[in-house]
Amino acid sequence: MTRIFRYILVDDVGMAPCPAGGLITLGTCKPAIRRGASTGDWVLGFRPGSLERGMLLWGGRVADVLDHGKYERKHHDRPDAVYREASDGTYQRLRPNYHPTDEQMRGDTSSPVLVFDPAVSRHLDGKAMALPARLAHLAPAGRGHRVSGVGAGDVEALRAWLAGLPVARSVNGSGDIASSRCSREARDTDGDVRAPLPRRSRACS
């Protein structure tokens, strides 16, 4: 059965998810989702801190699931390819200032990288968009992620809606990121995610 994983983002600075070069990937943070999702499942990330629930920041269908070693070998030029597999199966951190603690590295590498289907996956470049009324019941609340509450026809309705959304400018860009580690978003008065604000590095949930 196809599942729809939904969660509320803490950060959206081009790393988790990473929308560089027309391909959306999730390779760091959210280890429970990365561990649980399979090819054909969906992942939706929503804006935090809003009185209005169901404001989508990104979403897509999983097209491939790769361990970090294979992902780095195949996509070594992507911003989130931050771990290289050694001959003994351990990982080398390629960006020392991103998730710098051993705990964070273990959290990242304990679960695989999700690669999303570009045809039906969208990153909205910080301009959150409300779910259509037909799908409003999928909006998550609180910590962690949700997979329950999916009704008949929801997957097809989600696929059609996402496929109809425009591709954001950032997805067509170089994939450069403003910060080498996750950062808390700043928002302007309309609540859209803008530049990151620095904070102490911590393990992702």
Higher pLDDT, 75 or 182: 75
28 part of a folded domain? yes
205 part of a folded domain? no
DSSP state letters, 146-192? E-----TTHHHHHHHHHHTSPPPGGGGS----S-SS--EEEE-TT--
Q: What is the pLDDT of residue 74?
A: 97
Question: In the beta sheet, which residues pair with residue 56?
Answer: 46, 129
204 part of a folded domain? no
Q: What is the pLDDT of residue 175?
A: 41
- When divided into structural domains, the chain yields a total of 1
203 part of a folded domain? no
**101-113: pLDDT as tens digits:** 999 999 999 999 9
Residue 26: give the domain boundaries: 4-197
- pLDDT interval class at 10 (50, 70, 90): confident
**127-177: pLDDT as tens digits:** 999 999 999 999 998 777 988 879 899 999 999 999 999 886 554 444 444
29 part of a folded domain? yes
Q: What pTM was computed for the model? A: 0.83
Q: What is the pLDDT of residue 189?
A: 29
Residue 182 pLDDT greater than 50, yes or no = no
DSSP state letters, 4-49? EEEEE-S--SSSSSB-GGG--EE-SS-HHHHHH--TT-EEEEE-SS
